[in-house]
Amino acid sequence: MARLDLKPLPALPASAARSPLGTAQRVGAGLLCAYAAVQILVPLRHVLYPGNVSWTEEGHQFAWHQKLRDKASDDRFFAVRPDSGERWELDLSPYLTGWPYSKMSARPDMILQLGNHLARELRAQGEDQVEIRAEVVASLNGRPFQLLIDPDVDLAKERRTIWGADWIEPLRES
């Protein structure tokens, strides 16, 4: 049997050790990976929120389960003067009608936006110390109606957060 002669290979030049991709190709590949990660992770963010996201709507936008629920609701908005306790129901017809109204009344984030808007409107009319409260009941997938929003919360003081809202009532599964 013949003996093999093993000789060390010459070292590669430093330029050959680099990635076979050029700088523009590496940047493009990085952007493509970031885009793919966003397209996969954003629709799955609903698992980070407590409770049923079809009820709270948190993490529901841009999710993959958009049309998998039916939600009916009814609402009433009130302005309250905290010093006197005087309370009056607000007419929402100058702000919303028809389809936009029905969408708002089932979505807590839109209810909050409307509450903040109503407070700004009333303050512009001279009602500096006014609270906005909402009595909202909803039914998810044919369940009995139940409170969606805590009626004791001043919506004018609440702000949108990305980590859940404690003013949204939890869904009772019964």
Are 59 and 134 within one domain? yes
Are 37 and 109 within one domain? no
- Whole-model pTM above 0.85? no
Tokens 């607000």 belong to which residue?
A: 90
CA-CA distance, 131 to 154, in Å (whole number)? 5
The pLDDT assigned to 1 comes to 65
Are 127 and 101 within one domain? yes
**Residue 38 structural domain:** 19-47
CA pseudo-torsion sign 44, 50, 55, 58? negative
Contact 53, 46 (CB under 8 A): yes
Identify whether 162 is part of a domain: no
Are 60 and 29 within one domain? no
Identify whether 68 is part of a domain: yes
Are 138 and 62 within one domain? yes
Are 30 and 82 within one domain? no
HSE-up (13 A, CA, CB side) for residue 1: 2
Identify whether 12 is part of a domain: no
- Nearest alpha carbon to residue 46 among 61, 68, 33, 28: 61
CA-CA distance, 63 to 57, in Å (whole number)? 10
Contact 136, 147 (CB under 8 A): yes
Identify whether 11 is part of a domain: no
The pLDDT assigned to 59 comes to 65
Mean pLDDT, each 10-residue run in order, the chain (174 residues): 76 64 88 91 74 71 69 92 91 89 87 94 90 94 92 90 80 78
Contact 158, 136 (CB under 8 A): no
Beta partners for residue 135, in sequence order:
76
Identify whether 61 is part of a domain: yes
The contacts of residue 55 (CB under 8 Å, 6+ apart) are 71, 138, 140, 148, 168, 170, 171
- Amino acid of residue 118: L
